[in-house]
Structure 1
Amino acid sequence: MIQRQPMSLLPVPTGELQIPEFPPQITSITKENIILSLVIPTYKERDNIHQVVKILSQLLDESIPGQYELIVVDDDSPDRTWEVAQSLTEEYPQLQVMRRKQERGLSSAVIRGWQVARGSILGVIDGDLQHPPEVLTQLLTQIQQGADLAVASRHVEGGGVSSWSVIRRFLSRGAQVLGLIILPRVLGRVSDPMSGYFMVRRNAIAGAILNPVGYKILLEVIGRGNVDEIAEVGYVFCERKEGESKVTWKQYVDYIHHLLRLRLTTGGWRRVSQATGQLEQLSQNIGFPLGRFLRFGLVGLSGVFVDMAILYLLSDPTTLALPLTRSKIIAGEIAIFNNFLWNDAWTFADVSMKQQEWRQRLKRFLKFNLICLAGLILNVLILNLVFNFLIPNRYIANLIAIAVATIWNFWVNLKLSWRVTDVK
């Protein structure tokens, strides 16, 4: 009896995270047309992957035999999940495996899998059995009936969570409310925008350059894709049986970062970004990034409003009535944090995208904080010099001081805070 060898690993796409309009030409496993390409992103799922592949294969063999493919995209797991998955390709010919060594992150893993997928329908499911596989057929039916996007939701009839703590439920709902405030036209279209279990037509997202942060890829699909009709199917989120949970507080920070980036690169803000980008192209001739400086200035203006609002809430006699100095310190620090988030997601997004680890972001924030503190000291010095020796008008002197401090903050942050220094 001849023993079949495991299939070779899929090549890892490079370049922009963009889904091709037409499937790539890959040596076919089957002569049948591929309807569904289901990506399973994994990291340290050695104990789960065999069971996941087995259940999914049995389910899809009944509904669309020979017309689907399973694509495991593993982020070079130390437990060698990719190797276990590759060994299963002999038993499950519809299975393909990709091992990523240079990139990390669930969202980008899904997109890289979709880039090599051959199906007209693209899907994603977790590799830890927390997403009930039987819901797949319902999602597929919704797409076949005309939906551009079919989402498995915990918040419609038939949906729910099995054993979440009160804190986790609160954080999940709080994140959703925050998203509705920042991105109402995106998150308002689905009941469970944080779902990681869905299917989408290839032509609904083909050509769009995706730019995800963290785990919530559905936000990218709705925000940047050409998605008209959306259907939702209820499912109960189950607790994992094997392996360790990957839910951490860092995911919530990434989620907020992702919301801000989408807000600034879609809709009306997108036109602002394009305009400042054109300014930046023109400014290269004079050696000063005007477009980036304009974005920095707009962010600084938002910080002024944050500062004033927090100062009022903390120090006004009708509110908390805290001492003025203490209130100003707290308000200033919150404004600095506000400015950092917006600058990281918008002004210097091209740089921050290359360094997304939490340690790198923290380093940028600390630098930004110190530079802003130095800018405040500079502001006070300029104000006194101009007022005492040049223009005896406190308001004009203050405007000049603010202008000088803004240029200082921008230029030093450009050179020190947002620069690529960590390379592999």
Structure 2
Amino acid sequence: MSNKLTPVPIGSFQINEILSNEEPSIRFSLIVPTYNESKNLAKLVEILTELLNNYFYGEYELIIVDDDSPDSTWQVGLDLMPDYPQLRVIRRQQEKGLSTAVIRGWQASQGEILGVIDGDLQHPPETLIQMLEAIDKGADLAVASRHVEGGGVSDWGFIRRFLSRGAQILGLLILPNVIGRVSDPMSGYFIVRRSAIANCAMNPLGYKILIEVLGRGNIGSVMEVGYVFQERQEGESKVTWRQYVDYILHLLRLRSRGRITKLREKFRTPIKRFLSFGLVGLSGVFLDMTILYLLSDEYTLHWGLTRSKIIASEIAIINNFLWNDLWTFRDFSSQQTGWGKRMKRFLKFNLICLVGIGLNLIILNTLYNYFHVNKYIANLIAIAIVTIWNFWFNLKLSWRVTQTK
């Protein structure tokens, strides 16, 4: 293979189908977007090549797409090419950004299966094999997730965890049918069939390329593989506030263009788990109604409706959490044993339900004070509506906690 740079694709961000059958058969194209990763690149290429040689026996390509790094990461890639025949290097000098780098790499590729992995060794390369096996089993998209069994983060502080979860909640509110399809929509580590995104007009923004693929591609089956996000070994982190701003703008862009209607599979509520959640909720309703009566009725303590409702709801929340942790979400909680982790789940459950209480109070007071509905009937209506809120967000967040040493 020539020790030369691969030309940068130009024009729109649309990925074509494989155009020529005369090209050597390439089953997998893995893109590594880089910026100032010269210290990590040699080790990463060595590990990836060893893994992929054993899996594809040479029928793959590894494409470095570098955004003209000041530390000459692209030159390090060129120097490695004589020792790694499957390695190609693209140096971009006119464009910037991780998402567009990935798409340009896919446009220059010939693989039937396309993938992306960070160049900083924070994505464990070994997880590639599990994702490739998921594709072999029929998945259109295989995502490495921090929020399923076997996943986690090695050393994240409270603020970073909070921002990550907050971004996920926002995504669920703006694009539920896109963000809700995976447990880790912020992941930048995944594999997709070329046919699932070929000829789809892409319009990426920022770093979250997975959202673009889910929102604009023709993605059918999705499978997730757990991985532990590693701390950077060399170089500096590129996480900035700008990424969060771009993420929000990206969500709004996808929403406004209506691309989610292209999804083949619409969101399906996990019925069995919801029924369990609902039965637990009934026990909470009994407690809630009983305590509300004891506190607010004119023949008992006769406290104010709002204060009585807050107390009744919090007792019901504690009851519901304990039963959901032991039954509804037992498959998740059994992987996260210990009082510390249980307390974290309870705090998240409580926070989500507190928002639900706010919604409940608005609905209850509106029905009771403005439409003169019986306060107990109004309370039942409010509980029914808020139950859907509580189930959806608790499924996606409270019992997706992962923590590793």
Q: TM-score range by the shorter chain?
A: 0.5 to 0.7
Q: Corresponding residue for 1:14?
A: 10
CA deviation profile, 1:102-145 (whole Å, cap 9, x unmatched):
00000000000000111100000000000000000000010011
Letter of the aligned partner of 1:56 in structure 2? L
The CA deviation at 1:21 is: 1.5
Q: Is the 8 A contact 2:215 2:259 kept in 1?
A: no
Corresponding residue SS for 2:238: coil
Matches within 5 A, 1:210-359: 210-267=202-259
Letter of the aligned partner of 1:187 in structure 2? I
Q: 1:136 aligns with which of 119, 128, 132?
A: 128
- TM-score, normalising length: structure 1: 0.60
Percent identical among aligned pairs is 64
The CA deviation at 1:81 is: 0.4
What is the alpha-carbon distance in structure 2 between the residues aligned to residue 215 and residue 24 of structure 1? Answer: 31
CA deviation profile, 1:181-230 (whole Å, cap 9, x unmatched):
00000001000001000000000000011111100000010000000100
Point out where structure 2 has 5 or more consecutive residues left out of the alignment.
Answer: 263-405
Cα distance change on mapping 1:268 and 1:116 into 2, 3 Å: closer
The CA deviation at 1:268 is: 8.1
**Greater relative contact order, per chain length (Cα 8 Å cut-off, separation 6+):** 2
Q: Is the 8 A contact 2:215 2:260 kept in 1?
A: no
Q: Corresponding residue for 1:202?
A: 194
Cα distance change on mapping 1:267 and 1:60 into 2, 3 Å: closer
Q: Corresponding residue for 2:111?
A: 119
Q: Is the 8 A contact 1:6 1:87 kept in 2?
A: no
CA deviation profile, 1:37-81 (whole Å, cap 9, x unmatched):
000000000100000100000111111111110000000001110
Point out where structure 1 has 5 or more consecutive residues left out of the alignment.
Answer: 271-424
- TM-score, normalising length: structure 2: 0.63
Q: 2:164 aligns with which of 172, 188, 196?
A: 172
Q: Corresponding residue for 1:110?
A: 102
Q: 2:45 aligns with which of 35, 41, 53?
A: 53
Letter of the aligned partner of 1:17 in structure 2? F
Q: Is the 8 A contact 1:224 1:266 kept in 2?
A: no
Q: Is the 8 A contact 2:185 2:210 kept in 1?
A: yes
Q: Corresponding residue for 1:343?
A: none
Q: Is the 8 A contact 2:216 2:260 kept in 1?
A: no
Letter of the aligned partner of 1:15 in structure 2? G
Q: Is the 8 A contact 1:24 1:117 kept in 2?
A: no
Cα distance change on mapping 1:45 and 1:92 into 2, 3 Å: same
What is the alpha-carbon distance in structure 2 between the residues aligned to residue 23 and residue 171 of structure 1? Answer: 42
Structure 1 segments, 4+ long, off by >4 Å, are 23-26, 267-270
Letter of the aligned partner of 1:7 in structure 2? N
Instruction: Name the Cα RMSD after superposition.
Output: 1.6
The CA deviation at 1:22 is: 1.7
What is the alpha-carbon distance in structure 2 between the residues aligned to residue 94 and residue 183 of structure 1? Answer: 38
